[in-house]
Amino acid sequence: MDMTMMRLRREDPRVVGSFRLHRRLGAGGMGVVYLGADKRGQRVALKVIRPELAEDQEFRSRFAREVSAARRIRGGCTARLVAADLDADRPWFATQYVPGPSLHDKVAQEGILSAAEVASIGAALAEGLVAVHEAGVVHRDLKPSNILLSPKGPRIIDFGIAWSTGASTLTHVGTAVGSPGFLAPEQVRGAAVTPATDVFAFGATLAYAATADSPFGQGSSEVMLYRVVHEEPDLGGVPDSLAPLVYACLGKDPKDRPSTVQLSERLAEIAAREARGLGAGAPRGPERPTGARAQ
C-alpha cells in the first residue's frame, strides 16, 4: 500500500467515530486508509472496510481478527491500536499514525541501503516479529511496503491478512494471499502457515533493501510463484556479511529457517560490526549457491 498522501475524494467520509479525516493515505484490498485526528490532535491511520466487503460475513470476521491481532501485540514494533468499531455499517479501526516512508518507497526513491542500515533495520524488525509471534499472530504479508521507517525505528503495518495461529485458512485452496516475490513456498502450496512463513518474507525483504529487487526477480505472478517453490534465490547483490543469513531465511523447508530470536541477535551483531567498519568477517551459515537464477 503506497502511503503517500492524497486529497479526500467526494465519496470519502469526513468524520468516522470521533476522528476527523484529512487525507487518503492509500487503498488496499480490504479498504481505504485515511489520515485522521481526534479532538486533541492525535493523528491516526484509520482503515475503513469497503462497502461491498462490509456485507460479507467472512470479511467481517477477518477484520475482527485483524483488530484482535493488533490488540494483542506488545512493544513498539507495530502501530498501536487507538480505537475500532467492528459493528458499524462499514467497520473501521484506527492506529497511531506513523510518520516516515515505507521501506519500499525509501529504496525506490533513494536507492539501496548500506549493509549497516539493512542489518540495523533487520535487527529491529526481527525483534518486532518476536513480539508479533508471541501474540500468536502470523503476519502473512510482510514486505517492504508494509514496513514504515519511523524516526523511532521500523514499524510493521497492515495485518489485513494476518491470522491467529491455529485459525482455519481464510483463502480458498489454490489461491495464495500475499505478494508473489515475498510469499513463502508453503503459502504457494497452500500448506500450514507458521512463524517461519514470516521469516521467509523477512529474508526476501532484507534482500530487497540491499538490492532494490525481490531475490526471485520480476515477472508474472505464476512465474514468481514457480521460482519461489522451485528455484534458488538470487542473492548476487546482497553484501557478504548479510548473504548467508538471508539465504538461511529463504530455505524452502520452514524447519531450516532461523528463528526470529536468532535473527535479531545475529543482525544486531552484524550491524555493530558494520558500523565499526568491520564488515568483512561474514557470519558462518549455509553456503549460498553461486549459480544465478535462470531467466
Q: 103-275: which CATH number, 1.10.3720.10, 2.40.50.100, 1.10.510.10, 1.25.10.10?
A: 1.10.510.10
The architecture (CATH level 2) of 18-96 comes to: 2-Layer Sandwich (3.30)
pLDDT of residue 161: 53
pLDDT tens string for the chain (295 positions)? Answer: 444 678 999 999 999 999 999 999 888 777 899 999 999 999 999 999 888 888 888 878 877 877 887 788 877 788 888 999 999 999 999 999 999 999 999 999 999 999 999 999 999 999 999 999 998 888 888 999 999 999 999 999 877 554 444 333 333 333 345 678 899 999 989 898 899 999 999 999 999 999 999 999 999 888 999 999 999 999 999 999 999 999 999 999 999 999 999 999 999 999 999 988 865 444 434 444 434 443 3
Chain Cα centroid distance, residue 73: 15
Residues of the chain with CATH 1.10.510.10: 103-275
For the whole model, what pTM was predicted? 0.82
CATH 3.30.200.20 boundaries in the chain: 18-96
> What share of residues in the chain are helix, strand, coil (percent, to 5)?
40, 15, 45
Residue type, 126: A
Phi then psi for residue 292, to 5 deg, are -70, 160
Is residue 128 within 8 A of residue 52, CB to CB? The reply is: no
Catalytic annotation, residues = 141
pLDDT for residue 231: 96
List of residues 6+ apart from 126 with CB closer than 8 A: 202, 260, 261, 263, 264, 267
Q: Is the dihedral of CA 112, 115, 116, 118 positive or negative?
A: positive
Would you say the C-alpha torsion 276, 277, 281, 286 has a positive or negative sign? positive
Residue with cell 467526494: 10
Distance in angstroms (rounded) separating the CA atoms of residues 276 and 272: 6
Tell me the C-alpha distance between 94 and 46, whole Å: 4
pLDDT of 178: 62
